[in-house]
Amino acid sequence: SYVLTQPPSVSVAPGRTARITCGGNNIGSKNVHWYQQKPGRAPVLVVCYDSDRPSGIPERFSGSNSGNTATLTINRVEAEDEADYYCQVWDSSSHHWVFGGGTKLTVL
């Protein structure tokens, strides 16, 4: 089955740029979606189809996808961005949705 690999944690100072990676075999050929989840809350979609940002999501959030790595980039990080972030793809071979293990973003 298809596997998505995320770093367990990423730390960044306020105002700096955070990059959260999502690794998978030839992930560049798939559509990658990203979700933000704060403690005790439901996930929120922050990037759809690699780089499409839903309405209401700050422009600071962006996504890219190429080769074996997809990346969620958060510019000018704010304290409110501290959360868990999950990547997701559809594996057409198995007809399964796959989530990455999640990355905890800590704002120092």
Partner 1 sequence: EVQLLESGGGLVQPGGSLRLSCAASGFAFGTYAMTWVRQAPGKGLEWVSSISGSGGTTYYADSVKGRFTISRDNSKNTLYLQMKSLRAEDTAVYYCAKARDIAVTGYCFDYWGQGTLVTVSS
Contact with partner 1 (CB under 8 A) among 28, 43, 58, 69: 43
If one asks whether residue 85 binds partner 1 (CB under 8 A), the answer comes out as no
DSSP string of 1-14, one letter each residue = ----B--SEEEE-T
Residue 61 interacting with partner 1 (CB under 8 A): no
Q: Where are the alpha helices (DSSP H) in the chain?
A: none
What angle is formed at CA 19 by the lines to CA 18 and CA 21, rounded to 5 degrees?
150
Which one, of 56, 107, 108, lies nearest residue 85 by Cα? 107
Least Cβ distance, residue 24 to partner 1 (angstroms): 14
69-74 and 61-66 as β-strands: parallel, antiparallel, unpaired?
Answer: antiparallel
Q: Could you tell me which stretch among 16-24, 60-68, 69-77, 95-103 binds partner 1 (CB under 8 A)?
A: 95-103
Q: Judged by CB under 8 A, does residue 35 bind partner 1? A: yes
Positions in the binding site for partner 1 (CB under 8 A): 1, 31, 33, 35, 37, 42-45, 48-49, 54, 84, 86, 88, 90, 92, 95-102
